[in-house]
Amino acid sequence: MSYHCAVCHKVSITAPDLARHIMGRGDKPHRDWLASKGLKYSELLIAQMKTFGGEGYHSLTKVLQNETWVDDEIPPAKSSVGTDSEK
């Protein structure tokens, strides 16, 4: 399983890693995505500066765990383009 950035589709193994990616980018698409999840980039930055070890990203990490988790253990089934399964 892994976490896929909803903005640029970067794949991370852990949610905190993806949180660092999003905060590290900090460009408009990533900030807009944060805003759509009810998070503020500036507030996360401040929280991060006040703490150590990524604690400030905790709220973001929780969102990532719910929103960007991808179970890639099983590859997606055949595309539905060829509908030969209806018999």
Residues that bind Zn ion (CB under 5 A): 5, 7-8, 10
Position closest to Zn ion via CB = 5
What is the smallest separation between the CB atom of 38 and Zn ion, expressed in angstroms?
Answer: 18
Are the C-beta atoms of 18 and 64 separated by less than 8 Å?
yes
Q: How far apart are CA 15 and CA 76, in angstroms?
A: 22
Distance set, CA 59 to CA 34, 38, 76, 79 (Å):
11, 10, 30, 35
Select 66 or 83, whichever has its Cβ closest to Zn ion. 66
Select 52 or 67, whichever has its Cβ closest to Zn ion. 67
What is the smallest separation between the CB atom of 80 and Zn ion, expressed in angstroms?
Answer: 28
Select 18 or 48, whichever has its Cβ closest to Zn ion. 18
Select 1 or 74, whichever has its Cβ closest to Zn ion. 1
Are the C-beta atoms of 34 and 41 separated by less than 8 Å?
yes
What is the smallest separation between the CB atom of 23 and Zn ion, expressed in angstroms?
Answer: 10
| Tokens read off for 7 | 């903005």
